[in-house]
Structure 1
Amino acid sequence: MDYKAVIKEIRDKKYRPVYFLHGEEPYFIDAISKVIAEEVLDESERDFNQTVVYGKDCDPYQIVSLAKQFPMMSDRQVVIIREAQDIRNWDAFESYFASPQPSTLLVICHKYKKFDSRKKAFKALGKENVTFLSEKVRDYQLTSWITKYVQEIGYGITDKAASLLAEFLGNNLGKIINELDKLSILLEKGTKINDVHIEENIGISKDYNVFELVNAIGELNILKANKIIQYFEQNPKAANIVVIIPNLFTFFQRLMMIHFLANKSPDNVAMNLKVPNFVAKEQIRYSKLFPPKKIAQNISFLREYDLKSKGLGAGNTSQGELLKELVYLLTH
């Protein structure tokens, strides 16, 4: 069951005794627990029937005792354990998970890592409870996830705008959704969000960003690449060499993969590289400018400058100067 299905079930008032939410991606866990906290009980019922505790501070046996209690002047009570990854003694929950109190919704928010499914407590969770694994949206899935999310809230988005958000904000769904929610306040429903909207309202330059720097290098456009680097020097928050180098590594890794694909059609390249079709077309074009031997050399340069960006062998060279050196080496 994905997080939307869990939320739909809650809103349909099909409640479960235990919601065990665990995994690397905090956004989905927060989304489910927020719906439970705000919609299961009326405001008048929450004072006596909704309890929030934190894993670091809670005594598991006391939580089990609380969960076993009956609600006061309500059909149910809600007990939410936030930061449950800090709990050390899970044995205390084993018997409760096997036979939970039907009038209690016990919500366990175990963030940033998968719970050990070998533990007896986890095995005690039956089918009547929800065990939800919140997995990270992988980097190659991010632009399509953004596109789908935007469509769900009643907007459209161009491929370039989705890529800009993914490149600039990284794999942080909370940040991405926060920025998209801001746009939804400013733009009319049905608007197709483009790179100009992103630049004007979120502050990501449509011309001076990591995405455009990679493209400039792919096109062997040294002048454009150096203009972007100069912009980064003047606007340090726009990009950092520690972020830029992994993007360039991914770029050249993809070009190398294209060289060894028998079928170099855009559809096949998009499928193998797990990128949107428009990105695949660009990558095919760039691959013709970089033979495999040069790509291997560039990957070696990137490893060298990754170390320099972290202070190994760079002396007092600034990030801007390191980037200019790197761009020259990558394009010659």
Structure 2
Amino acid sequence: MAKKEYTYEDIISDIKAKQYKPIYYLMGEEPYYIDLISDYLTQNVLTDTEKEFNLTVVYGADTDIATIINAAKRYPMMSEYQVVVVKEAQSVRNIEELSYYLQKPLSSTILVICHKHGVLDRRKKLAAEIEKVGFLFESKKLKDTMLPGFITSYLKRKGLDIEQKSSEMIADFVGSDLSRLTGELEKLIITLPLGQKRITPELIEKNIGISKDYNNFELKNALIEKDIFKANQIIKYFAENPKTNPIQATLSLLFNFYSNLMLAYYAPEKSEQGIAQQLGLKTPWQAKDYIKAMHKYNGVKVMQIIGEIRNYDAKSKGVGNTNMNDGELLRELVYKILH
């Protein structure tokens, strides 16, 4: 039977209920949730007075496994718990030896291991011991298609609403670094006029610097609609503003879209729900663009487009390209997509 995959919400819910575990092993390629859980534990388990004697924070490069185990074996002073946090745990040598401590861990110690940009081998003894007594949590990178949903959910928790176009614009501009993404969202929240609860494209254009009319989101829509005039207007704007519209970001978005469009053809059910399930989209409404594009492009054309995007990505990096600038490359690529 497969082990349960714990979510961030699962863990925070337990902590709020004061159902603490002897170990929280937080690992994965996405640092955002690792930091969120670690910070929540350090801020909420102990009072400020208790932290003076019962909060220990060490860094993997400056410690060893023996020191970590000895710290975990200490009893708290004038507190029910002590919290031991190991940051950059991927640098700790012989971390497998932690499995011996976990066979009989102290219930008064909350050991938080932050292992970023990698994962523990789940087949090894340490993983098994962690899962017996604590949480083994993997923080995975979000797919680009999931970012607008993340933005919407984040703002909803703050009591705010956002238009679909706005969430797409931010996701495209900022990318999948969730720490940077939430930072940009917090900046937007601060700039909201008093009483306004909705983030609009105009607000984003004013405070983040993304044009509400000339951006990758609008270029994608123009290509879906096969609107040649609008697509060329956007490309002209990109060519005139290369610093805020790098070709690599545009090529990445187009590649992801047309790759997903190719997968959409293989969905058993061609409804919004069926395509959302096939592509792993968070909500069915995100499938609307793919359904629309399937009526404009056939599978053979989509395969050709994917090949062309790869080709122009190589050219943008100097492979087989002697004299064309980014604007010219993008104009030529868009022509081939539309014709």
State whether TM-score is above 0.5.
Answer: yes
- The one-letter amino acid paired with 2:238 is F
Q: Which residue of 2 aligns with 1:253?
A: 259
Q: Which residue of 1 aligns with 2:227?
A: 221
Q: Aligned ranges for residues 1-16 of structure 1 at < 5 Å?
A: 1-16=6-21
Deviations 1:33-56 (A, max 9, x none): 001122222222223221111112
Q: Aligned ranges for residues 12-161 of structure 1 at < 5 Å?
A: 12-161=17-166
Identity score, percent: 43
Counterparts of 1:267 and 1:125, CA distance in 2: 37
Counterparts of 2:13 and 2:142, CA distance in 1: 21
Counterparts of 1:143 and 1:62, CA distance in 2: 43
Change (3 A) 1:268 1:75: closer
- The one-letter amino acid paired with 1:227 is Q
Q: Which residue of 1 aligns with 2:319?
A: 312
Q: Is the 8 A contact 2:268 2:274 kept in 1?
A: no
Deviations 1:148-199 (A, max 9, x none): 2221221112211122222222222212211222222333577122222222
Counterparts of 2:222 and 2:270, CA distance in 1: 22
Q: Which residue of 2 aligns with 1:178?
A: 183
- The one-letter amino acid paired with 1:294 is K
Counterparts of 2:195 and 2:159, CA distance in 1: 6
Q: Tell me, what secondary structure is at the counterpart of 1:125?
A: helix
Q: Mean alpha-carbon deviation: is it higher for 181-190 or for 60-69? A: 181-190
Counterparts of 1:99 and 1:259, CA distance in 2: 53
Change (3 A) 1:58 1:253: same
Q: Which residue of 2 aligns with 1:323?
A: 330
Q: Which residue of 1 aligns with 2:303?
A: 296
**Which 5+ residue runs of structure 1 have no aligned equivalent?**
none
Change (3 A) 1:322 1:2: same
- The one-letter amino acid paired with 1:251 is F
Q: Which residue of 2 aligns with 1:191?
A: 197
Counterparts of 1:126 and 1:257, CA distance in 2: 35
Q: Which residue of 2 aligns with 1:164?
A: 169
Cα distance, 1:73 vs. partner? 3.0
Q: Is the 8 A contact 1:97 1:126 kept in 2?
A: no
Q: Tell me, what secondary structure is at the counterpart of 1:79?
A: strand
Q: Alignment length, in residue pairs? A: 332
Q: Is the 8 A contact 1:209 1:238 kept in 2?
A: no
**Which 5+ residue runs of structure 2 have no aligned equivalent?**
1-5
Q: Tell me, what secondary structure is at the counterpart of 2:110?
A: strand
Q: Tell me, what secondary structure is at the counterpart of 1:229?
A: helix
Change (3 A) 1:151 1:189: farther
Q: Tell me, what secondary structure is at the counterpart of 1:19?
A: strand
Q: Is the 8 A contact 1:156 1:190 kept in 2?
A: no
Counterparts of 1:10 and 1:83, CA distance in 2: 22
Change (3 A) 1:64 1:223: same
Q: Is the 8 A contact 1:155 1:189 kept in 2?
A: no
Cα distance, 1:110 vs. partner? 0.9
Counterparts of 1:104 and 1:274, CA distance in 2: 39
Q: Mean alpha-carbon deviation: is it higher for 135-144 or for 282-291? A: 282-291
Counterparts of 1:218 and 1:98, CA distance in 2: 57
Q: Mean alpha-carbon deviation: is it higher for 16-25 or for 192-201? A: 192-201
Deviations 1:68-114 (A, max 9, x none): 11223333221110111122211331211111122211100111222
Q: TM-score, normalised by structure 1?
A: 0.89
Q: TM-score, normalised by structure 2?
A: 0.88
Counterparts of 1:258 and 1:125, CA distance in 2: 39
Counterparts of 1:167 and 1:310, CA distance in 2: 21
Q: Which residue of 2 aligns with 1:244?
A: 250
